A = this chain, B = another copy of it.
Amino acid sequence: MLNQQPGLDRMFHALADPARRAMVERLSSGPASASDLARPLPMSLPAALQHLQVLEGAGLVRSEKVGRVRNFSIEAGALSLAEQWIHARRTEWERRLDRLGAYLETLIREGEHDAPDK
């Protein structure tokens, strides 16, 4: 089995790093150049560029070079895959807990009028 989804792999891996998340947060409020994104981070520019490559490889971010500066922007809707996966898990286990709750309730009801005393 093992739901093979390289998309989710790369997506979650990309989001697992605080520097990369910071970049995504920054880009959520508008496009920015490579050095704009690198400046606030405590690392060299090549390092920041590597992070951006990871984000782009995960499809979270798009980049376009204009003149000598490379501008990055959010790939709108890219996170929906991750969002869907998480949401699926949540609903799945919530429904399970609901069923469990209902079951326990029937046990209690039955106990109310047909209980063997402890």
- Interface, chain A (partner B; CB < 8 A): 1-5, 8-10, 12-13, 15-19, 21-22, 24-25, 27-30, 40-42, 74, 76, 79-80, 82-83, 85-87, 89-90, 92-94, 96-97
Q: Is the interface of A mostly helix, strand, loop or mixed?
A: helix
Which of B4, B21, B76 is close to A18, meaning CB atoms less than 8 Å apart? B4
* A89 to B8 CA separation, bound complex (whole angstroms): 17
**Which residue of the partner chain B has the closest CB to A1?**
B40
B3 and A9 form a contact (CB under 8 A): no
Name the residue of chain B whose CB is nearest to the CB of A8: B21
Residue in contact with A93 in the complex, picked from B1, B2, B10, B74, CB distance below 8 Å:
B74
Q: Is the Cβ of A86 less than 8 Å from the Cβ of B89?
A: no
Q: Which residue of B lies closest to A82 (CB)?
A: B86
A25/B3 in contact, CB under 8 A: yes
Bound together, the chains give a CA A96 to CA B26 distance in angstroms of 12
Q: Which one, B4, B21, B93, contacts A76 given CB within 8 A?
A: B93
